[in-house]
Amino acid sequence: MNVKKGSVAAHAVMGLMAVYFLLPFWWLLVAATKNNDGLFQSNALWFADFHLIDNLTLLFDQENGVFLTWMRNSAFYAVVSGVGATAVSALAGYAFAKLRFPGRNKLFALLLGLIMVPATALVLPTYLLMSQANLVDTIWAVILPSLLNPFGVYLLRVYVHDSIPDEMLEAARIDGAGEFRVFTSVALPAMRPALVTVLLFSMVGSWNNFFLPLVMLSDDQLYPLTVGLRAWYMSAIMGNGGAATFNVIVTGALVAIVPLIVAFLMLQRYWRGGLTIGAVK
């Protein structure tokens, strides 16, 4: 009886958590189908007159199609930053797990400390560094700081340590393979599930990045979606002529999350395996 009560309680908590996380998405989906008047005058959580097609047309026509430019920028930042951060994390994680070098434990402890530092706390020091390098208001001001992913390094270090036997690497070395060849030919293929997990997390983090590009960029042609939609929102609040209306902004927010949903659905079998494998030796 106690086990049954505990199971019911667990399912109830999970149900409440599911509602908590899905409710904002439901509101966004419903709001994107309304015109500007219906957005404020109808039930917030239910449909009114269907204007999704009209909203999409207004969205892509607003300011000569600048939304598509912002989407292209977000995709570029996400792909380049994600691939770069994954490559750096793979090299560092492998080195921490399988190589012996002076100061390894101290450096790894420092890395764990970096995980605890909020990314927003590093934005202003990063801005000063980029300013001295004359990289402010360029794409590199957004990409370069995103290449370091301490959590990705930690995840790959744990994965490599638990999932790749030392004997496999030693066999490759005995056959005459150099250290880089051992990494690329033996370790890297075995790291694929963890690599996809880190890639996905890095790309999502870069796609959703807001504060860093907000500080670094002033040219609206370089904005990602997060900063561009915020600029529209501020213009709508101030009532600037020709500014995007709230229904257009909400529709833009809905379109902005579609690529993330597609990426998760396409890569879920890899990242789920990367999260779970290695947990039990």
Residue ranges covered by each domain of the chain: 53-276
Exposed/middle/buried for residue 123 (C-beta within 10 Å: 0-12, 13-18, 19+): middle
CA distance 15 to 10: 9
Question: Worst-scoring range by mean pLDDT, 48-57, 181-190, 214-223, 259-268?
Answer: 259-268
pLDDT at 279: 43
Average pLDDT, stretch 109-128? Answer: 87
pLDDT tens per residue, range 38-70: 888 888 889 888 999 999 999 999 999 999 999
Residue 165 predicted with pLDDT over 80: yes
Residue 169 predicted with pLDDT over 80: yes
Query: Which residues lie closer than 8 Å to 140 by C-beta, 6 or more apart?
Result: 130
pLDDT tens per residue, range 221-236: 999 999 999 999 999 8
Share above pLDDT 90 across residues of the chain, in percent, rounded to a whole number = 54
DSSP state string for 104-170: HHHHHHHHHHHHTS-GGGGHHHHHHHHHHTT-TTSTHHHHGGGG--HHHHHHHHHHHHHHS-HHHHH
Residue 15 predicted with pLDDT over 50: yes
Residue 136 binned pLDDT confidence (cut-offs 50, 70, 90): very high
For residues 7 and 105, the model is more confident at 105
Closest among 159, 42, 7, 143 to 98, alpha carbons compared: 159
Residue 3 binned pLDDT confidence (cut-offs 50, 70, 90): low
Q: Is residue 78 within a helix (H) or strand (E), and if so which, with residue range? A: helix 66-98
CATH architecture observed for domain 53-276: Orthogonal Bundle (1.10)
Residue 21, token pair as written in the block:
């996380």
CA distance 195 to 73: 24
Average pLDDT, stretch 95-109? Answer: 90
pLDDT at 16: 93
CB 48 within 8 A of CB 34: yes
Share above pLDDT 70 across residues of the chain, in percent, rounded to a whole number = 93
Closest among 200, 256, 280 to 60, alpha carbons compared: 256
